[in-house]
Amino acid sequence: MTDNRTIALVAGVLALLTAATAVGQFLRRHPDRGLDLAAIRTFNGRLRGWWILCTVLAAAFWLGTTATVVLFGLVSFWALREFITLTPTRKGDHRALFWVFVAFTPAHYVLVGLNRYDIFSVFLPVYATLFILARVAFAGDYKRFLERTAKIQAGLVVCVYCLSFAPALLQLEIPGSEGPGSNFRLLFFLILLVQFADCMQYVWSRMLGHRLVAPTVSSNRTWEGLLGSATSTALLAGALWWAAPPFQLWQATLAGFVVAAMGFAGGMTMSAIKRDRGVKDYGTLVVGHGGVLDRIDSMCFAAPVFYHITLLVTGIKP
Amino acid sequence: MLSPADLRALPPEPHSVGRSRSPFCQAVGLGLAALARLLAGASIRWIASQPDTCQRVYFANHTSHLDALVIWASLPRSIRDLTRPVAAKDYWSRGMVRRWLAQEVFDAILIDRTDIKVHQSPVDIMLREAGTTHSLIVFPEGSRSVTGEVGEFKSGLYYLAKKRPEIELVPVHIDNLNRVLPRGEFLPVPLLSCISFGPPLWLERGEAKLEFLARARRAVMALKE
């Protein structure tokens, strides 16, 4: 995977992060510029997160496809823990939950690793759903039955099924590709777009935003943020189209636009769940845990759509 | 302070400091502690309180069979080696594995809940086994709560405090473990839980039994925030 484009991408990311870190440290040492101190601290915190993210990703990429699938599997597992911990379940759900955690989640990622698109695309939405419904019924507690099974299923689909489409990108056979490097670049392209869209959403909402999408759900997500983020992400995707192997310029731009919109939708959805449970973020629920779900909510929504757009516009077969 | 009568009751100490467990049992203990923390996704908080090797009684709400193991696993290793869970004999002496775990790995003090004698009250057994160096983990509710609410405390904690007023009583709140392993289940679901240690308290001079027990219970519940 040491082709020129990969090297260019890695070098570009390193240069950007280093430059941003230098600026962040400069601002921290010179607090007299009239800038918001809290914003600088947030910026530096975010940067630290990106360094960690890039390091972990680089390590996983370097170790290969299997390692990356396992990494995403662990992230899914942890996110599902947070999701179910936050969701009230009853004792009658215990056995169903046990199998969801120890059997369905790992089995799904094994299928992704084996590149069995024919099975993994229906395994959780169909078979896990049927199992959860039946197992909870067998447990004999019918109180709010549909509500309880829907909660478990929603957690499984969002945290496990949707996220797994990101590592599934590594299995696509990209025509005229230069080895596995192309697939890793495609995955990195998605991650970069999602992260960038998150930032842009914040920036645009801060700068011009005044029409809140749903004030009862989120007090900082605005229509201006959504549109601005989708447009800027589309522009970035267009500028980086050479790094994402199967795409032409317009395809990359379209992917950027849709990824940003989906990421926004993911953030809104998780906000709604958190509002309902009366917590600010998944990290505060259990002190000391970073709140994995807070980090990946946009990714969960963007990954399957990005995957299928890639199939649709390029004609690649899964 | 210890009265002369109590001192006479204490020695000979059955557990000298650092009673040597076999390396195998120590390894199993370390492994189980790590596994329990991982499985229960336990985040550990010390609120206005610090880990310390001084003699303490950790008292907690009781929600799951995992409670004692997870509290024990949440303590730093040096303290863990000095800390003995107090557990029900009827559960922990059933079967070879459980008995071995309780005796050799956790070094638990097993209390017979069905056969309580006047001269062998559970409190006397606990204090004798604790000696002057070991800390204890107790669950003053007596049995696991069904609803998840913290039940009324039994009087044992009061008599412990009365006989050894210098021991620090540390409230511990266990959150969400009852969902990891509910009553009547044997397979755990790996959710996230939270173990909070609070500031130590002592029996005040002249404090009545019910008053003290209510205060101790409030101290546990306050850690839920």
Mean pLDDT of B94-117: 84
Q: Is the pTM of this model over 0.90?
A: no
Can the peptide bond before residue A215 be classed as cis, meaning omega within 30 degrees of 0?
no
pLDDT at A282: 55
Q: Which residue has the higher pLDDT, A150 or B8?
A: A150
Q: Is residue B9 scored above 70 in pLDDT?
A: no
Nearest-CB residue to B190 (from A81, A89, A94)? A81
Q: Is residue B1 scored above 70 in pLDDT?
A: no
Q: Is residue A64 scored above 70 in pLDDT?
A: yes
Count interface pairs A-B at CB distance under 8 A: 44
Strand partners, B85: B137
pLDDT at B65: 85
Q: Is residue A71 scored above 90 in pLDDT?
A: yes
A200 CB within 8 Å of a chain B CB = no
pLDDT at A68: 93
| A261 Cβ neighbours under 8 A, 6+ residues apart | A226, A230
A101 to B41: CB separation less than 8 angstroms, yes or no: no
B192 to A286: CB separation less than 8 angstroms, yes or no: yes
**Residue A57 has which token pair?**
């990703």
* Dihedrals phi, psi of A65, to nearest 5 degrees: -60, -50
Q: Which residue has the higher pLDDT, B4 or A224?
A: A224
pLDDT at A103: 96
* Residue of chain A whose alpha carbon sits nearest to that of B46: A287
pLDDT at A96: 95
pLDDT at A281: 59
The confidence band for B125, taking pLDDT boundaries of 50, 70 and 90, is: confident
Q: What is the ipTM of this complex?
A: 0.80
- For B65-89, give one letter per residue: b (16+ CB within 10 A) or e: bbbbbbbbbbbeeebbbbbbbbbbb
- B144: chain A residues, CB-CB within 8 Å: none
For the segment B24-43, what is each residue's pLDDT rounded down to a tens digit?
Answer: 888 998 999 999 888 888 88
For the segment A174-198, what is each residue's pLDDT rounded down to a tens digit?
Answer: 887 766 778 888 999 999 999 999 8
For the segment B76-85, what is each residue's pLDDT rounded down to a tens digit?
Answer: 999 998 999 9
pLDDT at B186: 86
Let me know the angle formed at the C-alpha of A263 by A71 and A160, rounded to the nearest 5 degrees. 35
Q: Is residue A315 scored above 50 in pLDDT?
A: yes
Distance from C-alpha of B127 to C-alpha of B84, rounded to nearest angstrom: 11
Q: Is residue B22 scored above 90 in pLDDT?
A: no
Residues of B engaging A, defined by a Cβ cutoff of 8 Å: 41, 43-45, 176, 179, 182-183, 185, 187-194
For the segment B177-202, what is each residue's pLDDT rounded down to a tens digit?
Answer: 889 998 888 899 999 888 999 999 99
Minimum distance, in Å, between the CA of residue A97 and any CA atom of chain B? 7
Mean per-residue pLDDT over chain A, rounded:
88
Nearest-CB residue to A94 (from B43, B185, B190)? B185
The confidence band for B20, taking pLDDT boundaries of 50, 70 and 90, is: low
Nearest-CB residue to A287 (from B43, B187, B191)? B43
Mean pLDDT of A14-25: 88
The confidence band for A114, taking pLDDT boundaries of 50, 70 and 90, is: very high
pLDDT at B224: 83
The confidence band for B121, taking pLDDT boundaries of 50, 70 and 90, is: confident
Minimum distance, in Å, between the CA of residue B36 and any CA atom of chain A? 15
Q: Is residue B2 scored above 50 in pLDDT?
A: no
Alpha-helical (H) ranges within B10-154 are 23-39, 67-74, 77-80, 89-92, 96-100, 122-130
Q: Is residue A288 scored above 70 in pLDDT?
A: no
- A288: chain B residues, CB-CB within 8 Å: 43-45
pLDDT at A280: 64
Alpha-helical (H) ranges within chain B are 4-9, 23-39, 67-74, 77-80, 89-92, 96-100, 122-130, 156-163, 177-180, 209-222
pLDDT above 70: percentage of residues in chain B = 88
A226 CB within 8 Å of a chain B CB = no
Mean pLDDT of A81-94: 89
For the segment A143-170, what is each residue's pLDDT rounded down to a tens digit?
Answer: 999 999 999 999 999 999 999 999 999 9
pLDDT at B147: 72
Please answer whether residues A160 and A76 qualify as being in contact, where contact means their C-beta atoms are separated by less than 8 angstroms: yes
Q: Can you spell out the DSSP letters for A141-160? A: --TTHHHHHHHHHHHIIIII
